[in-house]
């Protein structure tokens, strides 16, 4: 049901958003502000993009030690995800820290 992609930097995040064909409100991937987006990206990493049925629906970061999930409108929707999905996302975020 859910799949995840892990952009390595702001440029890759921008490419993933463009490929998804959606507009997002995330500071981590503003095409006309790549340098500033990279600053935000570095601040929030690790970051994963969340896809449901191959459609980009959100992004998560693990800055606080637990996943925080934002929808494409940049609203915190963490509480709408069940514990199983939160654990999957947490695992994805922790795998990023290993590399």
| Exposure of 95 in the CB half-sphere (CA atoms within 13 A) | 12
Residue 99's pLDDT is what? Answer: 46
Residue 56's pLDDT is what? Answer: 98
Task: Flag whether pLDDT at 47 surpasses 90.
Answer: yes
Q: What is the mean pLDDT of the chain?
A: 93
Which tokens in the block code for residue 76?
A: 């915190």
Which tokens in the block code for residue 85?
A: 């999905």
Nearest to 39 by CA among 64, 16, 58, 13: 13
Res. 65 pLDDT band, cuts 50 70 90: confident
Instruction: Report the predicted TM-score, pTM, of the whole model to 2 decimal places.
Output: 0.91
Q: Which residues pair with 60 in a beta bridge?
A: 48, 69
Domain boundaries, the chain: 2-97
């Amino acid at each position: 049901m859910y799949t995840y992609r892990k952009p390595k930097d702001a440029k890759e995040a921008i490419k993933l958003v463009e490929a998804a064909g959606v507009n997002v409100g995330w500071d981590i991937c503003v095409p006309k502000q790549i340098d500033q987006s990279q600053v935000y990206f570095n601040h929030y990493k690790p970051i994963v993009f969340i896809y449901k049925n191959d459609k980009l629906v959100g992004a998560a970061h693990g800055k606080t030690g637990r996943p925080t999930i934002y929808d494409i409108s940049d609203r915190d929707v963490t509480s709408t995800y069940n514990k199983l999905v939160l654990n999957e996302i947490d695992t994805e975020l922790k795998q990023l820290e290993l590399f």
